[in-house]
Amino acid sequence: MKIIVVGTGFVGLPHAAVLSEAGHEVYAYDIDPQKIAAYESCDRSQIEYYVNEPGLAAAIAETHNRYLFFTTDISEIARDADVFFMCINTPPMRNGATDLSYYLNAAHDIAALLAERESDNRVILVNKSTVPVGTARVLENILKEHGVRNFGVASNPEFLAQGNAIEGSRRPDRVVVGADTEEDFQILRRVYSQFVNHVRIKYVETTPETAESIKYMGNTLLLTYISFWNGVGARVAESLPNVRMEDLKIGVTADGRISTWGSYVSNGAGGSCFGKDIQSLIYQLNQAGASTDLLQAVYNINEYQKTYLVDRAIHEANFNFNQKTVALLGLAFKKRTNDMRDSAALKAVEALLGKGVKEIRAYDPLAMEAAQEYWFNPEKNHLLERITYHESAQEALRGSDAVFISTDWEEFRGLSRTIEKTVAPPYLVIDGRRMMPDYEMLVEKGYDFLAVGSPFLPGKAVVTQSSDNGVAVELEPA
Ligand code: UGA
């Protein structure tokens, strides 16, 4: 099949690479020439600057210029393409609605090109990015408006999690195809022939609107489950006596019907999808006059979780942030990515600056560049000058009065030793990810410890005793 993937971000680029592995002739198209030049170079660091996914650069190098081509111009190729995958960013607006302006611009451009083609071959436009229910119908109307002949529209939502895009595309748990005609289903079966009738992969054919809804239902259910653990599990272990968070989690999730994924309590789930999708679904249902109480509660719980540790530090640990220096470890929304979109760290920074901290010493193994793009703009707000950037966790800890762990990077598991070597009590450790299995050692040594899913643990007083238990005597000078 001759396929054009429109938009080469996190969704489009891995999709194009994996489609080309299946022997299709794939054109990855983007209006940004810098991106296209980076991908064409096949240079890993240049590719990862835009999309940081394990295995992506190798996958591109494998099929580039054989089955996979990059371009900023599809005016020729569009003439005889079979399928267009729309992988365009659809950011949220302030009221929760989805901003479709980039998507609609691209749809109009493509429709204008297709209206001019000579061939009468069937062409299908497939929505892969998450778009409100009914968007396939909007696309259909745009194509009609431009007078495009013999076309179909479809919805084929993306279910990948960041950090697993290539493997997830090669072996998805499901492929959902929403279309209107048997002819279009058939074309998409040819695109995904390796997944049709697969023993482990569910290949679901349905209406475009159902396919669009499956994506929203999936993401909001995952966030609901995380929020159950954050809003109920963590509260039980923090507030009721003698409850151990890890045992609670193991005991509950031992039931085969209950997932372990999502039971890792945290200072809030972030990323480019969960927050955006739940807000969009709330907006869509409100517009339709349907009730959204559960979704609204889930959204509120997740937002509350992003800053509540700062409040707990003030009220439970009696910590006064005013003029204090705080090390902030982890800026990305989860480990193994440099993506900071809707990261809990963004809200933590706002809360800390609001409480008057003197300095935030930030460190993340991958997201330092992204962080500086977010924050290194003192003209936007002079408070941003208070954020400093460091090359290691230990550097960030130096001279701080407290540390806030915001991302579940593996390297933070060994942090207690680094803390002990770098900063002395009185000192407050705020663990938003329960990353420190040996926190008791820190408490013994006098460090205060505050974690999601545990009551506050004040550091034990450090008592120095002389080795023979004798009484210290001070003699007056003669
Ligand atoms: C999410 C979904 O998991 C994918 O299925 C979906 O396709 C994708 O959004 C999308 O719509 O594109 P992703 O945003 O990459 O994927 O990240 P997740 O791994 O789901 O994590 C989201 C957030 O939840 C992170 O901040 C993570 O740290 C947090 N999380 C996850 C928890 O706080 N606790 C957990 O137990 C699991």
Question: Measured between alpha carbons, how far is 372 from 269 in angstroms, rounded to an integer?
Answer: 21
CATH superfamily of 308-474: NAD(P)-binding Rossmann-like Domain (3.40.50.720)
How far, in Å, is the centroid of ligand 1 from the Cα of 263? 12
> Which residue's CA lies nearest to atom 19 of ligand 1?
161
Which of 38, 34, 56, 131 minimizes the C-alpha distance to 86? 131
How far, in Å, is the centroid of ligand 1 from the Cα of 424? 36
| DSSP β-ladder status, 25-29 and 2-6 | parallel
**Beta strands of 252-395 (E only): which ranges?**
325-329, 359-363, 387-389
Furthest-apart CA pair in the chain: how many Å?
111
Q: Hey, how many other C-beta atoms are within 10 angstroms of the C-beta on 457? A: 18
> Which residue's CA lies nearest to atom 30 of ligand 1?
269
Token pair of 72, please?
Answer: 């900023």
CATH number of the 216-304 domain: 1.10.1040.10
Can you name the residues that pair with 69 across neighbouring β-strands?
Answer: 27
Domain residues of the chain, as ranges?
2-206, 216-304, 308-474
Q: Which CA distances in Å does 317 have to 148, 423, 428, 452, 453?
A: 65, 18, 8, 13, 15
> Which residue's CA lies nearest to atom 7 of ligand 1?
159
How far, in Å, is the centroid of ligand 1 from the Cα of 161? 6
One fold for 2-206 and 308-474: yes
> Which residue's CA lies nearest to atom 20 of ligand 1?
161
Q: Are 309 and 347 in contact (CB under 8 A)?
A: no
How far, in Å, is the centroid of ligand 1 from the Cα of 154? 25
Q: How many residues appear in the chain? A: 478
Q: Is 396 helix (H, G, I), strand (E, B) or coil?
A: helix
Which tens digits make up the pLDDT trace of 268-283? 999 999 999 999 999 9
**Residue 467, pLDDT score:** 47
How far, in Å, is the centroid of ligand 1 from the Cα of 399? 34
Question: Measured between alpha carbons, how far is 13 from 89 in angstroms, rounded to an integer?
Answer: 12
How far, in Å, is the centroid of ligand 1 from the Cα of 219? 8
Q: Hey, how many other C-beta atoms are within 10 angstroms of the C-beta on 118? A: 6
**Residue 461, pLDDT score:** 77
Question: Measured between alpha carbons, how far is 134 from 122 in angstroms, rounded to an integer?
Answer: 22
Q: What mean pLDDT is predicted for residues 310-317?
A: 98
Q: Are 341 and 271 in contact (CB under 8 A)?
A: yes
Closest atom of ligand 1 relative to the 215 alpha carbon: 11
> Which residue's CA lies nearest to atom 11 of ligand 1?
273
Closest atom of ligand 1 relative to the 343 alpha carbon: 26
Question: Measured between alpha carbons, how far is 141 from 21 in angstroms, rounded to an integer?
Answer: 33
**Residue 373, pLDDT score:** 85
Question: Measured between alpha carbons, how far is 227 from 221 in angstroms, rounded to an integer?
Answer: 10
Average pLDDT for the chain:
94
Residue 466 has pLDDT above 80, yes or no: no
pLDDT over 70, % of the chain? 95
Which tens digits make up the pLDDT trace of 394-434? 999 999 999 999 999 999 998 999 999 999 999 999 999 99
Closest atom of ligand 1 relative to the 271 alpha carbon: 14
**CA gyration radius, the chain:** 26
Token pair of 440, please?
Answer: 């008791």
Residues with CB under 6 A from ligand 1: 130, 158-162, 219, 222, 226, 261-264, 266, 269-271, 273-274, 333-334, 408
Which tens digits make up the pLDDT trace of 60-82? 999 999 999 999 999 999 999 99
How far, in Å, is the centroid of ligand 1 from the Cα of 316? 30
Token pair of 275, please?
Answer: 């927050």
Residue 370 has pLDDT above 80, yes or no: yes
**Residue 478, pLDDT score:** 44
Question: Measured between alpha carbons, how far is 9 from 444 in angstroms, rounded to an integer?
Answer: 48
Closest atom of ligand 1 relative to the 334 alpha carbon: 28
For the chain, the 3-state helix, strand and coil shares in percent, each to the nearest 5, are 40, 15, 45
Could you confirm whether 42 is annotated as catalytic? no
Q: Hey, how many other C-beta atoms are within 10 angstroms of the C-beta on 319? A: 21
**Residue 116, pLDDT score:** 94
Q: Is 428 helix (H, G, I), strand (E, B) or coil?
A: strand
Q: How confident is the model at residue 472 (pLDDT cuts 50, 70, 90)?
A: low
Q: Is 350 helix (H, G, I), strand (E, B) or coil?
A: helix
* pTM for this predicted structure: 0.94
Closest atom of ligand 1 relative to the 261 alpha carbon: 36
Which tens digits make up the pLDDT trace of 168-179? 999 999 999 999
Which of 53, 210, 241, 232 minimizes the C-alpha distance to 133? 210
Pocket of ligand 1, candidates 176, 214, 219, 308: which has the most ligand atoms within 8 Å of its Cβ, to mutate? Answer: 219
Please identify which of the residues 166, 273, 301, 429 carries the catalytic annotation: 273
**Residue 378, pLDDT score:** 61
What's the CATH number of domain 2-206, 2.40.30.10, 3.40.50.300, 3.40.50.720, 3.40.50.10600? 3.40.50.720
